[in-house]
Structure 1
Amino acid sequence: MKQTGGELPNDSNSYKPVSEAFYKLPTLTLARNLLGCLLVKETEEGTASGFIVETEAYRGPLDRAAHSYNNRRTKRTEVMFAEAGRVYTYVMHTHCLVNVVSGDVGVPEAVLIRAVEPHEGIELMEERRSGVSGRQLTSGPGKLTKALGIQMTDYGNRFDEPPLYIAPGFAPEKIETGPRIGIPNTGEAKEYPWRFWVAGNPYVSR
């Protein structure tokens, strides 16, 4: 990995969240720029973190795959209408998934974090995942939230402050793109190349 700003510390006290301005980018750009960043979650059990290696962009009102398609505004999607950098968590098939709210206020867009490469707190992550280790530990959106301890209670918080935040990481040498996963009934939207991943990283979900 090519680190940004030298070697990353293993001490979570040395991490510094990216600024609020980082999130004020077009959604597709943000989805790419999140790759390599460090996703950190602090809990009473300890701190766990991982480098983001896969994301998916969802572009709101005109995107049939987005929860906010046609400006759908519900209790679940309300945070998507807020300023960029908010935490959007939701439950799918009993799994909690985590998204970064993007776009302008009132424009409900978001980026799903699909996979991370474990960095700190790996033993804690394995314990949370009932002994699962290696690639399967965090190679999927439901796997990574369980491993890191991300829960629905994180909904609406900001990603530029603890306990759930994003810090600088490494600069990917190559990024690949392709269609998003698991959205079969969304017409032409299922073909949009809005999934981004770090080429060759073993923790990418597929």
Structure 2
Amino acid sequence: MDRAFFERPASAVAPLLIGARLLFEGVGGMIVETEAYEPQDAASHSFRGPTPRNRAMFGPAGHAYVYRSYGIHWCLNIVCEPGSAVLLRALAPETGLETMAARRGDVAPALFCAGPGRLCQALGITIAEDGADMLSSPFTLVASDAVADVQTGPRIGISRDMDRPWRFGLRGSRLLSRRFPNSQPMAAAAGQDTGAD
């Protein structure tokens, strides 16, 4: 993946990240769930413009935007075009499983990275990575060799713009943060208005 891959709306990038592999300091796995957020999207942190907290969202594409959710969990996003980012919601754990187990405690491997907060804890990602270039060490980000079977549906845990089908997941994966109710394949969803420019 190069910088140009991310220099477009998050709603275009998010489904293409399904099946890609992400490592941080050698720990990680395959991306199986993402969500898109864009500047005209009332659910996005960028909706009201730049702030000290969301500054990274308006920075270079391919960089990390890390924030704390509910004052507890770190969440990792990949910045796309200005004010646009993809939240990484779940990984299939593949590399560094012992390290993940030590960080996550006494939980089943299926729960190591099933959710954005769990993902960051398992990979050891904190606010220190906010603004970091995800296309260089200690990150490794590699595109999938195959086209993933992606399903789509509404995003989780938001109260505005809930109708946008901007949550994407690998069909059949048991490692998602939450199942997709009445989900659609990408081909069916492609004709819907996603609100992207």
> By the TM > 0.5 criterion, same fold?
yes
Runs of 4+ displaced beyond 3 Å = none
Matched, 1:40 2:40: no
Match of 1:198 in 2: 170
1 CA distance for matches of 2:23 and 2:96? 10
Matched, 1:183 2:164: no
Match of 1:66 in 2: 44
Matched-pair contact (CA < 8 Å) for 1:172–1:198? no
2 CA distance for matches of 1:31 and 1:115? 12
1 CA distance for matches of 2:110 and 2:169? 15
The normalised TM-score by structure 1 is 0.82
2:143 to 163, 168, 176: 168
2:111 to 112, 120, 136: 136
Alignment of 1:1-206 (within 5 A): 18-42=1-25, 47-60=26-39, 62-71=40-49, 73-93=50-70, 94-103=72-81, 107-184=82-159, 186=160, 189-206=161-178
Structure 2, unpaired ranges of 5+: 179-197
Q: Which amino acid aligns with 2:129?
A: D
Matched-pair contact (CA < 8 Å) for 2:78–2:86? yes
Matched-pair contact (CA < 8 Å) for 1:54–1:114? yes
Structure 1, unpaired ranges of 5+: 1-17
Q: Which amino acid aligns with 2:58?
A: F
Q: Deviations over 1:12-52 (max 9, x none)?
A: xxxxxx2222212332111011111111111xxxx211110
Q: Which amino acid aligns with 1:64?
A: A
Matched-pair contact (CA < 8 Å) for 2:101–2:109? no
1 CA distance for matches of 2:47 and 2:143? 31
Matched-pair contact (CA < 8 Å) for 1:137–1:143? yes
Q: Percent identity?
A: 38
CA displacement at 1:165 relative to structure 2: 3.3
2 CA distance for matches of 1:171 and 1:78? 34
CA displacement at 1:169 relative to structure 2: 3.4
Matched-pair contact (CA < 8 Å) for 2:19–2:148? no
